[in-house]
């Protein structure tokens, strides 16, 4: 209980800290004037595009899950993503990363640990994909320096966060590969660690660990690796396209490829386990807009608030509708996710 309370206070502190830097020196009259100058038709298109990543993520997830079960219902994979992201928006600690696979496992009758393992693969490729796109942007920078200039401080920040993201993704990748290719040794270590616990608990955890490692089977094939990498690029290029249209709706005209570093920074901010991505997403979005594109800070604040609110509203409406249709409650799934966290 004390550990849980300490973690909660850390999350609250980080949220408030990021919000302080985000809202510092804001002129709200300027913010409102920027928001009033919106291209209504483009904004409507942005609203319609908001669930796009749920569809592309569902198609990508299907590629991993077909090793466990053929003929999965696409609706259940879409719903799993929607419900998972809704939980991430509503609760701290990124509980949705557990809810998503558990929801699908319940609907499709597949192994829980296997489904969780596929989500780990997804997150590894999310980080590697955006690191790769950021790397392409940095390498190609001399080619477009005449139409887009980036100041030295912003370039240093991109280098730093790019290296952090690459290091974290690489560490998680090698750890996952170690689990899969040294399966017996991993399970033997799990058995040793669990020796002091009751037998029923040991059996449950060991079963979950075996299923989780099975979910990493994807790494066994180089062809699967490359094909899944292609799907990941499609997912993230779609997300970048969404932000490109959104910026255009608020009169911020930028070349498509110039948004690569901005989306990378928002991914870093969204990875911080604050409730609803509040604080982390906002700070890194404002940082990217002001340092990369010399956007007025008041405009950056207004645009960030709107894009975050739009994502939360659309995703939560879809998530609520799905659970209402299924006759399920958020608290039932939340308890399921908390019980699965080890």
Q: Tell me the pLDDT of the chain averaged across its residues.
A: 82
Ramachandran region of residue 318, left (φ > 0), alpha (ψ -120 to 50) or beta? alpha
Query: Which pLDDT value is given to residue 124?
Result: 81
User: Any idea where the domains of the chain sit in the sequence?
Assistant: 27-340
Q: Tens digit of pLDDT for each residue in 264-289?
A: 989 888 888 787 888 889 999 998 89
Q: Tens digit of pLDDT for each residue in 64-112?
A: 888 778 888 999 999 999 999 998 888 776 788 888 988 898 888 888 8
Has residue 220 got a pLDDT over 70? no
Indicate the pLDDT class of residue 342, thresholds 50, 70 and 90. very low
d(CA 179, CA 213): 6
pTM above 0.75, yes or no: yes
* Alpha helices by DSSP H, the chain: 2-23, 28-36, 40-49, 52-65, 74-90, 96-108, 112-140, 152-181, 183-194, 199-214, 222-249, 260-271, 280-293, 297-326, 330-340
DSSP 3-state of 67: coil
Has residue 339 got a pLDDT over 60? no
Query: Which pLDDT value is given to residue 4?
Result: 59
DSSP conformation letters of 171-201: HHHHHHHHHHHTHHHHHHHHHHHHTTS-HHH
Nearest to 122 by CA among 161, 71, 84: 84
d(CA 150, CA 156): 10
Query: Which pLDDT value is given to residue 1?
Result: 46
Q: Tens digit of pLDDT for each residue in 143-186?
A: 766 666 666 677 777 777 777 767 777 777 777 777 777 777 88
Q: Tens digit of pLDDT for each residue in 25-67?
A: 788 888 889 888 899 999 999 999 999 999 999 999 988 888 7
Query: Which pLDDT value is given to residue 307?
Result: 93
């Amino acid at each position: 209980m004390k550990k849980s309370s300490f973690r909660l206070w850390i999350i609250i502190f980080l949220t408030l800290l990021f919000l302080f830097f985000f809202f510092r020196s804001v002129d709200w009259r300027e913010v409102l004037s920027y928001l009033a100058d919106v291209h209504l038709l483009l904004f409507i298109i942005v609203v319609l595009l908001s669930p796009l990543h749920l569809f592309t993520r569902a198609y990508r997830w299907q590629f991993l899950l077909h090793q466990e079960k053929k003929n999965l219902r696409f609706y259940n994979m879409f719903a799993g993503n929607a419900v998972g992201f809704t939980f991430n928006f509503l609760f701290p600690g990124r509980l949705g990363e557990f809810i998503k696979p558990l929801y699908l496992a319940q609907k499709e009758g597949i192994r829980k640990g296997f489904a969780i393992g596929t989500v780990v693969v997804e997150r590894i490729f999310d980080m590697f994909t955006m690191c790769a796109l950021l790397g392409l942007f940095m390498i190609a920078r001399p080619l477009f320096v005449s139409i887009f200039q980036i100041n030295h401080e912003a370039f240093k920040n991109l280098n730093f966060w790019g290296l952090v993201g690459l290091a974290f993704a690489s560490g998680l990748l090698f750890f996952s590969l170690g689990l899969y290719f040294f399966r017996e040794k991993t399970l033997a270590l799990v058995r040793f660690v669990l020796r002091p616990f009751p037998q029923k608990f040991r059996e449950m955890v060991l079963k979950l660990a075996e299923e989780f490692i099975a979910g990493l089977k994807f790494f066994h094939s180089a062809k699967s690796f490359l094909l899944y990498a292609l799907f990941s690029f499609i997912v993230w290029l779609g997300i970048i396209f969404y932000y490109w249209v959104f910026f255009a709706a608020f009169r911020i005209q930028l070349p498509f490829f110039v948004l690569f570093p901005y989306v990378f920074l928002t991914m870093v901010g969204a990875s911080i386990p604050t409730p609803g991505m509040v604080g982390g997403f906002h700070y890194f979005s404002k940082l990217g807009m002001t340092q990369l594109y010399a956007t007025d800070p008041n405009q950056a604040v207004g645009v960030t608030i709107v894009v975050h609110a739009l994502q939360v509203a659309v995703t939560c409406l879809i998530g609520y509708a799905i659970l209402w249709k299924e006759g399920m409650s958020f608290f039932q799934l939340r308890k399921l996710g908390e019980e699965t966290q080890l």
